[in-house]
Amino acid sequence: MRYATEPAHRHGHAPRVGVLLVNLGTPDAPQTDAVRRYLAEFLSDPRVVEIPRAIWLPILHGIILRVRPAKSAAKYASVWTQEGSPLAVWTRKQATLLQGYLGERGEQVVVSWAMRYGQPSMAAALDQLKAQGCDRILVLPMYPQYSGTTTASVWDGLSAWCATQRNLPEIRFVRQHHDEPAYIDALAERVQDFWQREGRGDHLLLSFHGVPERTLHLGDPYHCQCLKTGRLLRERLGLTADQMSLSFQSRFGKAKWLEPYTEATLKALAKRGIKHLQVFCPGFPADCLETLEEIAIEGRHDFLQAGGQRYEHIPCLNDHPAWIRALVDIVQRHTAGWPTTREDQPRPADLESQRLRALALGAQA
């Protein structure tokens, strides 16, 4: 094993904490070649496609990567922005805002972001954090609900990077946050803000990304965590079971995936007499191809064609202040015990002690 070249060890330097937000990934451009490179990396991950390599790789390289990139590139082009891929744009903004919010709370933390597939890579982002002197790093996958296909793959990427390092930083890893009160509150605030602007529809559909059903039977908790997120959000919004439903989107291949499928649900709701439908994607903290094209564009077409009259996609959490505050809460809890507070600013616990002493002195007077 040849390890990465390490900077000279600095004796006596103050410990520094880094936070790395990791999202799924995106091509560099809405072009066929760029999409092909991205899909080749994404679909080659055995966490994503659990088919024996000897069977899957010839299919991937012989068929899928010859046919799918051009179609996917056209879809990416329909949602691409002047700043770039929506997923990259929002993840970068989330990292910047998180850095600012943490700073307002007196936390001296370096926040960066990366993609599991594509750029910026996890390895490059981790190298950068280490170069900035971070010897303690919290890795936060941007997947609220744990799945072996997503969260565990981030761990694999982290482990692969660690295998190249001689001087390892201390690592902490956030496994899930599907039932975090602050996350549920952020989801509810996003929906309620939309209702205040646009009015409330006849029905709210929560669409989560799908995974093959066999993963559920093999012990993956993703399905159960999606259901729990949905239940907590429904209770927080004060909706009845008839006013909200849940489905799974982005099915790929011929295998059975988690049901009910979003496409079929959209058509069924229209035929049931729902005229005004609103769709929200709680499992996607940032708008991306799957929400902006599959839900906002294709989903609208499916619902209206089936007889619906009004269809609205509620934006993902993106840069909503409640979501950034939720990220702050998650980061502060998972970095507890690490030196993150500036030396020139009292810690929250110190401020509370000062307040209590002031009250006591006032009472004595």
Query: 207 near 347, Cβ under 8 Å?
Result: no
Structure tokens at 253: 């291949």
Residue 364 lies in a domain: no
324 and 244 co-located in one domain? no
CA dist., res. 185 & res. 324, Å (int): 11
Same domain, 163 and 186: no
Structure tokens at 96: 């910047």
Check whether 209 is labelled as a binding-site residue: yes
* pLDDT score at 183: 98
The total of structural domains in the chain comes to: 2
Q: In this predicted structure, what is the pLDDT of residue 99?
A: 97
Instruction: Please report the pLDDT score of residue 15 as a whole number.
Output: 79
pLDDT of res. 250: 94
Q: Residue 147 sits in a domain of what CATH number?
A: 3.40.50.1400
In terms of domains, do 305 and 329 share one?
Answer: no
Decide if 287 is inside a domain. yes
The reply to whether 20 and 123 lie within a common domain is yes
Question: Would the annotation count 290 as a binding residue?
Answer: yes
Residue 234 lies in a domain: yes
This prediction has a pTM of: 0.90
Q: Is residue 329 part of a domain?
A: yes
Same domain, 200 and 157: no
Q: 191 with 162, same domain?
A: no
Q: Report the distance separating Cα 283 and Cα 155, nearest Å.
A: 19
Interior angle at CA 55, CA 53 and CA 157, nearest 5 = 25
For residue 363, tell me if it sits in a domain: no
The residue range of the domain holding 93 is: 16-30+80-176+320-334
| Last residue of one domain, picked from the residues 284, 313, 342 | 313
Q: Is residue 61 part of a domain?
A: no
**204 and 152 part of one domain:** no
Determine the longest span between alpha carbons in the chain, in angstroms. 84
Residue at 43 is within a domain: no
- Tell how far CA 295 is from the center of its chain: 17
Mean pLDDT, each 10-residue run in order, the chain (365 residues): 69 83 98 98 96 95 96 97 97 98 95 98 98 96 98 98 96 98 98 98 98 97 98 98 97 92 98 98 98 98 98 98 98 94 51 50 49
The side-by-side arrangement of strands in the sheet containing 16-26 is: 109-118, 16-26, 134-141, 170-173
Residues 164 and 185 in one domain: no
Same domain flag for 280 and 169:
no
Q: Coil, helix or strand for 320?
A: coil
Q: Which residues on neighbouring strands pair with residue 277, listed in sequence order? A: 203, 311
Whether residue 217 sits in one domain with residue 118: no
Q: Note whether 159 and 199 are same-domain residues.
A: no
Q: Residue 248: inside a domain, yes or no?
A: yes
Q: Are residues 199 and 229 in the same domain?
A: yes
How many whole angstroms separate alpha carbon 91 and alpha carbon 81? 14
